[in-house]
Every structure is written in C-alpha cells, then in structure tokens.
Structure 1
C-alpha cells in the first residue's frame, strides 16, 4: 500500500463568517491510500480553531509513512486501531486515514460503502445549506443565489432574532440556527419560542462547552430541541451530552473518522438522542464519506463543498438538499 498526500487551498464562493471569525479560503489535505489499481481517499481540513495546519498534518503522516504503508488489514476498523496509539490526540489526521481506509475497503469489495456496511438508501434526510454571519442584505442574497429547502443560519450577534425575522420574509424554507457558543442560557430560553414561531427546527450549541449547568436549564426549559456540536467531539462526549441536549452533531474530523462516528451514532441512539452529522468547509472527498452515513441519521449538514468556488474532487451530487450517489464502489470520491 502506498500513501499519497494532496494539499489544496480551497477558495470559497463568499467570505464565510461565524462567531469565531471569517475566512475566504480553506486549506485542506486529501490523503490517498493506493493498493495496486485501487485508491481510497480521505480528507482533513486545516482549522486553526482546532490547532490544525496542512504542514503539521503532512509532517505527522510522513513520520508514520512506514507504519501506514506496511500495515496489513482487511477491515478499516482494524486499521483505525493500528493507528490509534499514534493518532489518539490527532483526530483530524486519523479521520483522513480512516475515511481513506473505508473507501479502499469498499472498493476492494466492489460495492458502495453504505452497502459494505449493510445499509440501504431509504428515507434519507435533506442536507441544509449554511448561511454565514453577514448583513441581512448579504444573507438574503445568498439565499436567493441558492434556493434551498432547509437553511442553517449562523448566529452570534446582538441582533439575532431580527436577523431570523428578516430572513423569514424571503423564504418558506425551514431554518436551523447555530449560535456557536455565543448565547447565555437565559437568552436561549427567551429566544426559543420566537424562533419556533419562525419555523426554526432546532438550536445548535447555544452555550459554551463548559456551561453544563446552563445547558441543563436550557434542556429543561427550551421549547426547541438543542443539538450539541462543540460539546460533542469525541466518543466519551456522547454520554456527557445526555440530559443536556436533545441530540448530537457528530463531525468526522473531530472524532477521528467513520469508525468512531458509527460507534457514536449507535451510542446516541441507545441514549434516545437525535443524531446529526455535520461537516467542515471541505471538498467532495469528505462530503462523500458523510453521505454513506445518511441512512443512520435524523439530520445532516453536508454542504461544505457547495460553499467552494473551486472543487478539486468529485463525489456525491447534492441538488436542492437531496443527495445523489454516483455509481461505483467505495465513497464515490475521486480527484479531478
């Protein structure tokens, strides 16, 4: 098996703003595991908020090249365990390798990844389209540029309710709001009835990760469901979210790939939590991997590649919230 690394600096269609900052480009690293004529692809974005850079990820993988290329495995889950001692504190790199391994394993079997897992494509959730923080005029323009049945609206300003009211005048689409830890418990509880009346489905991560008392209050008092994001990054976090959130948003790069994500989904279901999988601003390599989890999900946020101006890869196609799978084995992802 050969390891090949493909760094890219993805240009966004528009400046993307959330409560943590703004960006116009997204550096990313696509990892290829090549076995003869077959290749599996995975991805990890370089996110400074989580201490990641393309250079650091490449350096880590080069240090592990010999172990990666000499590893013998049939199941991707076994490869995840082989690499875990080296990457337990580096889930972004582990994710890229794990997704590439799942892709390669399904290609070896000659079937799509979801079928390799024994899943079928029935009753799949629609993906939302994300509108970042901007002036109301800019946010409306983005919605008009991309008409969609479900929008995720990034909030965290001092006029969040006014934003949702203004946007509601321009679309009948369902809204989901993501405060990215910017609200207080009191704000969340007070805003929830107003947001519900404006056809908001749920609130994502309203409070900071450490405010467990506040989240317990919100969980008890909010008329809208609350979904954990920053509070649910690794496998043990799922149990910690029970009683504080109504559901969890799992991100492959934060948890270490498809292998732990599937375990997190199973655990969340056992705790009666709703399950969402989210994305970073990433290429179709990462997005295609998320798509194969769709039969297991209540909600999905996999619009990352739709936010890009230049796309270095192909994978699934998304039209009006509906995910269309390509014919062929694995995740369907490939470099252009």
Structure 2
C-alpha cells in the first residue's frame, strides 16, 4: 500500500486473524476496502465481523459463507449491514435467480460462466431482480481483462487486476492505471498478442 497506493483494495479473508488484518490495513490507508471472505466464515462469525468491517470502511462482503449454505445466507441477508455479493454461489446463468433473496449482488467471472454473451444475460437477469453486478477475475491476461473492460458501463463493481499479477502477459493494449482503465481502439477487444502467444503460434494451434 505504501509503495503503490490505490483508491480501492480488495482483501481476501477467511482466517482466524481477519479482524486484526483489517485493522492493520486500515491504519495504512483511507482507501475503500472490499472484502472477499472466500466462503470462510460461519453465520455466527459473519454476524460478528460484518458490523465491525462496516465501521472500518468496507464497502461490501463477497461470498461470506459456503456456496451451498442457503439457510445461513437467508439469515445473513436479513441481518447484514453491508451488501453481500455471491461468487462461488453464482457461477452460471441459472444461479442468478437462485441468489435473489440471499445476496444483494452477484460476481460474474467470464472464464466460469462461458464468456461475454452469457455474462450479459446474467447482468440483465440480475438487474431485473434488483441486484448489484460485479465482474471479477482470477489470473486473466490482458486478453481476458479486455473482455471484462468492455462490460464496465454495465457494472457496479469490477475486479480486473489479472494482468498486474502476471510475470508474462499474453497481450498488450489494455492499460490499467492506479485509478482508471484505458480500453484500446482496435477491432474486437482491441488487444494485440505478444510474442508469447503470437498470431503464428495461434495459427499453429488450430492446424
């Protein structure tokens, strides 16, 4: 945080030291915090932690409970002072409606749901149910992240830092700055393959 200040941080939790971690990080920055519990809490733990996280400036909590703990999510949905975003509980299109009344929003991953077209249908369904929409990522290269970037006008939240986590990227053209993303102007996604995954290599893979 000191070396590369950002306006928003997504923090992975689900450990016995969650509160200590959050308090230590908050001492370092006034930035917005978003928390991903990675299905690591029980209902009781979530009910205790979430009000404190709200006081620490957390914007929302992603996947607080196990993906199939619907009874727990029903309780948490009614009690939580922070929005709850489904991740592992919402993978494919039919999961969106199932999450209504248990989560305040959904996190879509293009690599899990099948790409841009099903993702857009998931966005439309979530909106019709009054739910917030986020698109997330794992270790997508510039190519996958450019696909996410083209959905930005339809999103409430986004997590697309995959290229920043890679030593060797597969493409160029998308620019991720400290507080904004610049989309290239070329055809399609606008990206160009690097030497790591050149057009020649791609052609060889299809032959």
Same structural fold, with TM-score higher than 0.5 when normalized by the shorter chain: yes
Q: Residue 257 of structure 1 aligns with which residue?
A: 115
Superposition TM-score, scaled by structure 2 size: 0.91
Partners of 1:287 and 1:315 within 8 A in 2: no
Give unpaired runs (5+ residues) of structure 1: 1-142
Q: Looking at both structures, which has the greater relative contact order when contacts are Cα pairs under 8 Å and sequence separation is at least 6?
A: 1
Deviation, structure 1 residue 327: 2.2
Partners of 1:189 and 1:223 within 8 A in 2: no
For the pair 1:192 / 2:36, whether they are aligned, the reply is no
For the pair 1:237 / 2:98, whether they are aligned, the reply is no
Cα offsets for 1:255-300 (capped at 9, x unmatched): 1111100000000000000000001112100000000000100000
For the pair 1:290 / 2:153, whether they are aligned, the reply is no
Cα offsets for 1:17-70 (capped at 9, x unmatched): xxxxxxxxxxxxxxxxxxxxxxxxxxxxxxxxxxxxxxxxxxxxxxxxxxxxxx
Matches within 5 A, 1:74-93: none
- Considering fraction of residues, name the structure with more strand: 1
Q: Residue 201 of structure 2 aligns with which residue?
A: none
Q: What CA distance in whole angstroms lies between the structure 1 residues aligned with 2:100 and 2:179?
A: 29
Q: What CA distance in whole angstroms lies between the structure 2 residues aligned with 1:326 and 1:253?
A: 21
Matches within 5 A, 1:94-173: 143-173=1-31
Structure 1 SS opposite 2:2: helix
Rg: which structure is higher? 1
Deviation, structure 1 residue 312: 2.7
Structure 2 SS opposite 1:195: helix
Determine which of 294, 299, 324 is the counterpart of 2:182: 324
Structure 2 SS opposite 1:231: coil
Q: What CA distance in whole angstroms lies between the structure 1 residues aligned with 2:140 and 2:150?
A: 16
Q: Residue 86 of structure 2 aligns with which residue?
A: 228
Partners of 2:143 and 2:170 within 8 A in 1: no
Q: What CA distance in whole angstroms lies between the structure 2 residues aligned with 1:317 and 1:153?
A: 23
Deviates more, 1:220-229 or 1:316-325: 316-325
Cα offsets for 1:128-162 (capped at 9, x unmatched): xxxxxxxxxxxxxxx22321100000111101011
Following superposition, which runs of at least 4 residues in structure 1 exceed 6 angstroms of deviation? none
Matches within 5 A, 1:5-24: none
For the pair 1:310 / 2:168, whether they are aligned, the reply is yes
Q: What CA distance in whole angstroms lies between the structure 2 residues aligned with 1:221 and 1:186?
A: 11
Determine which of 36, 40, 53 is the counterpart of 1:178: 36
Count of aligned pairs: 194
Q: Residue 43 of structure 1 aligns with which residue?
A: none
Partners of 1:248 and 1:275 within 8 A in 2: yes
Deviation, structure 1 residue 209: 0.9
Structure 2 SS opposite 1:233: coil
Q: What CA distance in whole angstroms lies between the structure 2 residues aligned with 1:320 and 1:253?
A: 25
Superposition CA RMSD, Å: 0.9
Cα offsets for 1:226-269 (capped at 9, x unmatched): 00000000000000000000000000011111110000000000
Q: What CA distance in whole angstroms lies between the structure 1 residues aligned with 2:70 and 2:34?
A: 22
